[in-house]
Structure 1
Amino acid sequence: MTGADSIVLSLAVPLATVIAILLVSTIIYGKKKGGEGDSKLPPGDKGWPIVGSTFSLFKPHPATTLGDFLQLQLSRYGKIFSTRYLGKTLVISADPEFNRFVLQNELRLFQNDLPPHFKKILGAGNLPFMAGETYRNTKSLILGFFNSWQIHSRFLAEVEEAVKRVMTSWRQKSLILANEELSKFFFNLAVERAIGMTPDDPEVEELRKAFISANDGLYTVPLSLPFTPYTKALKAKDFIFSIVKREVEDRKLNSDKMDEEENDLIWYYLKNNPSMSVKSICDAVIGFIFAALFNTQISVALAMYFLGQCPESLQQLREEFKQKMNYTHTKAKLTWDDYKNMDFCQSVINETLRFGNIVPGLWRKTLSDINFKGYTITKGTTIMTHIEAMHLDPLAFENPNIFDPWRWLAIKKSNNWMPFGGGVRHCSGSEIARMEIAVFLRHLVLNYDWDLVEHDHPIAFPLVTFPKGLPIRIYPVREKTPQTSL
């Protein structure tokens, strides 16, 4: 996925923020009621005094479930309810109609609602912190780089060659930590595409670790004390910025030597918006790498996990890939038409994004009073459009707690399915993300079978992760030996 807007779509506040709440809660509670006194506010349990429902709302839970708190509130109050977190009112919606209304009226009736420390780590020049014409112009520029022609004629071939190299390297391994392997793969892909650095560059791995440290700082208490994750995140951001800034300034100094063969993201910005500041380019590039590293990586990890738990889906996917190879008369190249015609592969991706819930919720703030279904949500109130609840709604998806890619062969599209957001802030890189997932799965499934070495279920805390790193044992397809289920 492209742009920092993708990585922050899944905004949540970890339990550790309660430390900060206890320090400032009296002031917040006394001065910012956020519409609590309005009798037309959606009903709900406001939780404990001062801290509200913060403990319950962000309690770690399996990513394929709603968690106890949300399940209880939905059963009691319906699909729109209110609670309190961080000392102020929060309206949570699992109502598809209302959620579409919120997302489609972005920049007019609603705006992103992100904590200030996100801007310090991600940079003010990222899409989530923009509005109006500035946002529209910047997003248009990003979409220009990830246009259909680029994806069809360039990125597809690049991704396939990179995946084939990884699949070859895996033949030397029998046991891998899938999360780590996927992190390196998608980071290397993103960095080469964004700033032209290849995996052979000694700085690349250091840069990847810095991105991980910076990401860890987004979801923690923003306390600038020695050794805190937030302090480490700021230091990591400084290092990241220095590397990207060096690359941007070097290109600007040599702009007269620009070669048409040079077509990474930095070159694109310099060619198409010469007046764009160095800082703005750096922020945009950093945001792209954030999204490409974390969102696409966990999507593939989830697909591997679900396919490993559902042999029937793995076998059907393999058969589809084999048929497509026979159709194109080659094992080396995948055409765009081949990719688009892989119906079951697309169904696997849809179901992975639905069931895995890498985007649990989108956070917005009202710019004026909002009236909906008899409720009045006052100006300045935070709303969480809960995508996870929509994805696991039994009224929208039969047996929602089962991985069932076949459902998408029948329904094709659902108004409850919103893994890439919606409205003007729909993820800029949704098409290229889907393509990357499909190409990776194609080569993985045709080359390997795999088993979990030990149980490792995806957990939402607050972003989806595998606590043990998804350790798997891999086998060349024809050499797999039967394994005892965990």
Structure 2
Amino acid sequence: MAVAFILWAYRWSHPKANGRLPPGSLGLPLLGETMQFFAPNPTCDVSPFVKDRVNRYGTIFKTSVVGRAVVVSADPDLNHYVFQQEGKLFESWYPATFTEIFGRDNVGSLHGFMYKYLKTLVLRLYGQENLRAVLLGDTDTACRATLASWAGQPSVELKDGLSTMIFDITAKKLIGYEPTKSSESLRKNFVAFIRGLISFPVNIPGTAYHECMKGRRNAMTVLKRMMRERLADEGRQREDFLDVMIEELRREKPVLTETVALDLMFVLLFASFETTALALTLGIRLITENPRVLEVLTEEHEAIVRDRKDPDAGLTWAEYKSMTFTSQ
């Protein structure tokens, strides 16, 4: 038994490959380097997991996380080449746990015609034309309202406040969801989902991963109900992105399925509010740590306000495009 275990462990750490593998370590059998990968990172810098291995092995190294042997690249030229060759020499792949979390028909797991078709649909919401005509003004209005509400508070939990603001904007545009008019806290389910997203995939009650999956199920229940109601309301006019999905589902020969539509809505809600809120939080923190940057930003924005006929007017597309320093 001992000899068999040693042979198995050796094969684990020295897998067969068609070609030469980069340097690195696969860690312990089965467990790999999963614990090191999931270790929290309290800084805004590159995670210690990646930094330590780049220093030890170089910008391309092999490792094993969540039972899978993988090659990690921190080389910008190689990463650019891989993205350029997506669908040609390379094809995106995600572990089974990712599929369980984001859905088996999520946009990241689709390829070819279906991927391009969904991308075209999404650009109807997030493309430059709609950004200029609708999203910019709505975002400006929401930001003003949020800042006005914060002004009367002694302190604000920035990340949570930004997440709430972005989620409300996104949910309104995607599914017409308004928290003040709904008895269900959709954002609460997404918060539970996000807290367990980067966790060890053990679906046992009490674990972060279990709460993550529970949050997804609850959110999907809300989305399914909304879709059923929209499908039954044939006289409804198009108001949001869910209505666009409904129109596609009602086609004589629909390309879209209800499952794909629901997974798409879920991923868009998650990606829109969580990544944006995190980027804004980090941006504000970095700006506060660099007074000169804050000074130049303030000068640029105040100059725009001074040039307006009405100082209280909303942000225009021309003003947005003129923010050369802000956009850096």
Q: Quick check: TM above 0.5? A: yes
Matched, 1:151 2:119: no
Q: Deviations over 1:416-450 (max 9, x none)?
A: xxxxxxxxxxxxxxxxxxxxxxxxxxxxxxxxxxx
**Mean Cα deviation higher: 123-132 or 275-284:** 275-284
Matched, 1:184 2:184: no
Please, what TM-score do these two structures have when normalized by structure 1? Answer: 0.60
Select 1:292's aligned residue among 267, 272, 276: 272
Cα distance in 1 for partners of 2:55, 2:200 equals 31
Shift of 1:241: 1.4
Matched, 1:267 2:243: yes
Equivalent residue number for residue 258 of structure 1: 236
Shift of 1:242: 1.8
Cα distance in 2 for partners of 1:27, 1:182 equals 53
Q: In structure 2, do the counterparts of structure 1 residues 68 and 158 end up closer, same or farther at CA, with 3 Å as the change threshold?
A: closer
Cα distance in 2 for partners of 1:320, 1:189 equals 26
Cα distance in 1 for partners of 2:174, 2:119 equals 16
Shift of 1:48: 4.7
Q: Deviations over 1:356-409 (max 9, x none)?
A: xxxxxxxxxxxxxxxxxxxxxxxxxxxxxxxxxxxxxxxxxxxxxxxxxxxxxx
Q: In structure 2, do the counterparts of structure 1 residues 297 and 76 end up closer, same or farther at CA, with 3 Å as the change threshold?
A: same
The answer to whether the Cα contact below 8 Å between 2:13 and 2:29 also exists between their aligned partners in 1 is: no
One-letter amino acid of the counterpart of residue 296, structure 2: Q
The CA RMSD measured in Å over matched residues stands at: 2.7
Q: Deviations over 1:430-472 (max 9, x none)?
A: xxxxxxxxxxxxxxxxxxxxxxxxxxxxxxxxxxxxxxxxxxx
Q: Deviations over 1:251-301 (max 9, x none)?
A: 11112x132xx3211111223453333332222111111012210011111
Counting aligned pairs with the same residue, the percent is 26
| Matched pairs, number | 319
Cα distance in 2 for partners of 1:151, 1:82 equals 41
What does residue range 51-90 of structure 1 map to in structure 2 within 5 Å?
51-90=31-70
Cα distance in 2 for partners of 1:225, 1:174 equals 40
Q: In structure 2, do the counterparts of structure 1 residues 87 and 149 end up closer, same or farther at CA, with 3 Å as the change threshold?
A: closer
Select 2:219's aligned residue among 240, 246, 257: 240
- Structure 2 SS opposite 1:175: coil
- Structure with the larger RCO, 1 or 2 (CA within 8 Å, 6+ apart): 1
- Structure 2 SS opposite 1:44: coil
Cα distance in 1 for partners of 2:8, 2:273 equals 36
Equivalent residue number for residue 106 of structure 2: 126
The answer to whether the Cα contact below 8 Å between 1:53 and 1:84 also exists between their aligned partners in 2 is: yes
Cα distance in 1 for partners of 2:100, 2:171 equals 21
Cα distance in 1 for partners of 2:8, 2:300 equals 56
Cα distance in 1 for partners of 2:14, 2:327 equals 42
Q: In structure 2, do the counterparts of structure 1 residues 108 and 253 end up closer, same or farther at CA, with 3 Å as the change threshold?
A: same
The answer to whether the Cα contact below 8 Å between 2:13 and 2:26 also exists between their aligned partners in 1 is: no
Cα distance in 1 for partners of 2:223, 2:258 equals 9
One-letter amino acid of the counterpart of residue 264, structure 1: D
- Structure 1 SS opposite 2:193: helix
One-letter amino acid of the counterpart of residue 268, structure 1: V
Cα distance in 2 for partners of 1:302, 1:240 equals 27
Equivalent residue number for residue 74 of structure 2: 94
The answer to whether the Cα contact below 8 Å between 1:211 and 1:236 also exists between their aligned partners in 2 is: yes
Cα distance in 1 for partners of 2:10, 2:147 equals 58
Select 1:333's aligned residue among 297, 303, 314: 314
Q: In structure 2, do the counterparts of structure 1 residues 79 and 200 end up closer, same or farther at CA, with 3 Å as the change threshold?
A: same
Shift of 1:36: 5.1
Q: In structure 2, do the counterparts of structure 1 residues 39 and 236 end up closer, same or farther at CA, with 3 Å as the change threshold?
A: closer
Matched, 1:345 2:323: no
Matched, 1:208 2:184: no
- Structure 2 SS opposite 1:111: coil
The answer to whether the Cα contact below 8 Å between 1:187 and 1:293 also exists between their aligned partners in 2 is: yes
Structure 2: segments with no counterpart, 5+ residues: none
Cα distance in 2 for partners of 1:117, 1:83 equals 18
Shift of 1:90: 2.4
